[in-house]
Amino acid sequence: MRPHVYTDAAAYRRLAPWDRYLTRVHAALMTFPDAVLSHESAAAVLGLPVFGEPRDIHLFSDRRARSKRFGDVLIHTSLSSRPIWEVGGVVVTSPLATVADLGRVLPPAFGLSVADAALRAFGVEARDIRGLVDGQQWRRGILTLRWLLDRVRPESESVGETVSRVVIEWCGFEPPELQLVVRSEGYEDRVDFAWPRRGVLAESDGYGKYLLDADGMFSALRREKAREDRLRRSCRAFARWDWEDTMRVAPLAARLSAAGVVRRHPRNETMLATLRTNPRSLRSVEKPPFA
């Protein structure tokens, strides 16, 4: 992994990309034990979304006047403007600072996913991110960050939901209500997206709830089937898609159009193009990026 730092090669290759990255981060910490992790490295330790396998490990040091690279380790300067946390003995930039840093450099939908997750997990608020950024001199990526701060919503409960939400916007559809509670047949079911005036409900399918043993998976699938049947009986149209549908855009848009959701604006092809690649990662994120 690094000079005098080893791991089992076969086991390492079997890891998901984001877990390989976290292994690389911990290996780097054995070489730089006093480091403060930032950007994707801090996100990985904090449990925030990491997309694919990031190229670089990011550290902060105020001892250097200029940033410097050692292989895949990038050492940044000017840590003084960022609050830090300690997580299990590892020092990282705080969730607030990590959102601000990644919001500048990630593709917009992915940066928004990190921000939404930080709101859910740590209670970070958009106004606090604005306050931190206003005190920084670094202006790179400020327009992307401002775009993000206007849209951050803790109601989105997964990366898939956040990215779906911005794809819906970029495709020109009218905005949905999030996490609407549908009461029917003696149950209360929350649905990811709803257009009540249109009688349309929609779900962005996640895989985490099915990562169970065979018996548990069967029970989960049975409960989900009964839930979906109730939702379908309580609305005029029901749409469902998964991560690949979202990233390909066209399948998600086709499902919403078929359900009767109205387009209010032309497609924003410039923003949709930002979904095609993440130059900060080694691999594509065509599969779900965060379990």
Summarised one tens digit per residue, pLDDT across range 211-257 is 445 455 556 677 777 778 788 888 899 999 999 999 999 999 999 99
- The 10s digit of each residue's pLDDT in 100-125 is 999 999 999 999 999 999 999 999 88
pLDDT of residue 210: 41
Q: What is the C-alpha separation between 201 and 261, in angstroms, rounded?
A: 10
Angle at 259 between CA 258 and CA 262, to 5 degrees: 90
The SS3 of residue 88 is: coil
Structure tokens at 199: 């009688």
Which range of 87-96, 200-209, 215-224 scores highest in mean pLDDT? It is 87-96
Strands 237-241 and 200-204: parallel
Say if residues 270 and 172 touch (Cβ distance below 8 Å): no
pLDDT category at 65 given cuts 50, 70, 90 is low
pLDDT of residue 25: 96
Answer yes or no: is pLDDT of 175 > 90: yes
Say if residues 152 and 119 touch (Cβ distance below 8 Å): yes
Say if residues 125 and 119 touch (Cβ distance below 8 Å): yes
Residues contacting 18, CB < 8 A, separation 6+: 44, 50, 51, 52, 53, 289, 290, 291
Q: What is the mean pLDDT of residues 82-107?
A: 94
**pTM of the predicted structure, to 2 decimals:** 0.88
pLDDT of residue 211: 45
pLDDT of residue 253: 97
Share of the chain above pLDDT 90, in %: 64
Q: What is the C-alpha separation between 92 and 97, in angstroms, rounded?
A: 9
pLDDT category at 178 given cuts 50, 70, 90 is very high
Q: What is the C-alpha separation between 208 and 215, in angstroms, rounded?
A: 15
DSSP annotation string for 93-130: E-HHHHHHHHHHHS-HHHHHHHHHHHHHHH---HHHHH
Q: What is the mean pLDDT of residues 196-200?
A: 95
pLDDT of residue 79: 72
